[in-house]
């Protein structure tokens, strides 16, 4: 019996470890002075979140998370950092009142959010199926939630074109 309890204890520990990873990654991403550390912090946080998704039982989403966020977006940000060379730019000292206000506002917001989350009595749906398989996701994506699929593809298309234009035009201007 103790293996199952130790297994759960192990899982428990793993869960808290991933949460720890996410939190530290987030803090690095936000509070570090050097932009590179921010990006790395972000990557760490995102992998942590992917881990949490695992605990939430949907393997596919965790993998996608790793693929899209950590793989694509962080790399894109690194590209941006290289192109805009913020490193050697002078980073003016961060005005203290601004930071204080930011933290205070976010704290208020967090407490509000947490309060809402705790106070409301979440009522789970009556009958709940636990089918997490990728097949159903794919099936549902193309039948009932077909609109989401269309819209997100359209958004991506527009985003790509937009990115090319804004980046492309400014190059012609500055060169």
Partner 1 sequence: MNSLNTYLIISAFLFSIGLVGVLQRRNLIGMLISVELMLNGANLNFMAFNRFLTPEPVVGQIIALAIMGLAAAEAAIGLSIILALYRKMHSINIEQAQRLKG
Partner 2 sequence: MDAIFKDPVLLATVVGTSLPFLSMAVILIFTRHNPMLSSRISVTSIVVAAVCALLNLAKVAGASHPFRFETAWMSSGNFHLTFGYYLDPLSALMLTIVAVIACLVQIYSLGYMSGDPGYSRYYAFQSLFAWAMMNMVIASTLLQLFIFWELVGLASYMLIGFYYEKFSASQAGKKAFVMTRVGDVGFFLGIIILTLGFGNLGIPDLNNAPGTGTITTGFITMAALLVFCGVVGKSAQFPLITWLPDAMEGPTPVSALLHSATMVAAGVYVFSRIFPFFAASPNAMLIALAIGTVTMLLASTMAMTTYDLKQVWAYSTVSQLGMMVMSLAAGGYFAGVFHLTTHAGFKALLFLCSGIFIHEYHTNDMRVIGKQGGRKQLVPMICITVGALALSGVPPFSGFFSKEAILGALNAQANPIWLFAGLFGAFLTAYYSFRLIFHLLFPKGGIEEKHAVHEMDSHGHKEEHHGGLFWAMAVPVMILACVTVVLGFAEHSLQGYIMAGGGAVKHASTAATGGAAHGVVGHELLVILGISAGLVGIILAWFEYGRKGASRNGFLSYFPPVWKLFDARWYMDAFFRWFLDTAIYSGLTSIFTRNDRRIIDGGIDGICFFTETGGRLFSFMQSGMLQYNLLIMVLVAGLAMLFFIV
Q: Which residues bind partner 2 (CB under 8 A)?
A: 98, 101-102, 105-106, 108-109, 111-113, 115-116, 119
| C-alpha to C-alpha distance for 83 and 78, rounded to whole angstroms | 9
> How many amino acids of this chain bind partner 1 (CB under 8 A)?
93
- List the structure tokens of 157: 């298309």
| C-alpha to C-alpha distance for 47 and 22, rounded to whole angstroms | 7
| C-alpha to C-alpha distance for 7 and 108, rounded to whole angstroms | 38
Binding mask 103-122 for partner 1 (x = CB under 8 A): x-xxx-xx--xx--xx---x
5-24: contacts with partner 1 (CB under 8 A): 8, 11-12, 15, 19, 22-23
- Give the sign of the dihedral formed by CA 34, CA 39, CA 43, CA 49: positive
Query: Binding to partner 1 by residue 91, rule CB under 8 A?
Result: yes
Query: Binding to partner 1 by residue 49, rule CB under 8 A?
Result: yes
Binding mask 55-74 for partner 1 (x = CB under 8 A): xxxx-xx--xx--xx--xx-
Q: How far is the CB of 33 from partner 1 (least distance, A)?
A: 10
33 binds, among partner 1, partner 2, none (CB under 5 to 8 A by kind): none
- The closest alpha carbon to 78, from 127, 41, 132, 51, belongs to 41
Which of 117, 125 has the CB closer to partner 2?
117
Could you say which of 7, 10, 17, 148 contacts partner 1 (CB under 8 A)?
Answer: 148
Which of 2, 131 has the CB closer to partner 1?
131
| C-alpha to C-alpha distance for 175 and 172, rounded to whole angstroms | 5
DSSP 113-151: HHHHHHHS-----SS------HHHHHHHHHTTTHHHHHH
């Amino acid at each position: 019996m103790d293996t199952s309890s130790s297994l759960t204890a192990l899982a428990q520990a793993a869960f808290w470890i991933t949460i720890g990873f996410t939190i530290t990654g987030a803090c690095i991403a936000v509070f570090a002075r050097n932009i590179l550390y921010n990006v790395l912090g972000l990557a760490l946080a995102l992998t942590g979140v992917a881990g949490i998704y695992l605990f939430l039982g949907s393997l596919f989403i965790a993998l996608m998370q790793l693929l899209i966020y950590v793989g694509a977006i962080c790399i894109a940000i690194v590209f941006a950092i290289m192109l805009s060379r913020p490193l050697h730019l002078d980073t003016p000292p961060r005005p203290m009142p601004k930071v204080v206000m930011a933290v205070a506002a976010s704290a208020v917001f967090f407490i509000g959010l947490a309060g809402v989350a705790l106070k409301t009595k979440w009522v789970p749906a009556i009958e709940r199926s636990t089918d997490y398989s990728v097949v159903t996701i794919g099936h549902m994506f193309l039948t009932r939630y077909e609109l989401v699929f269309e819209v997100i593809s359209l958004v991506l298309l527009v985003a790509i074109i937009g990115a090319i234009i804004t980046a492309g035009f400014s190059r012609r201007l500055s060169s």
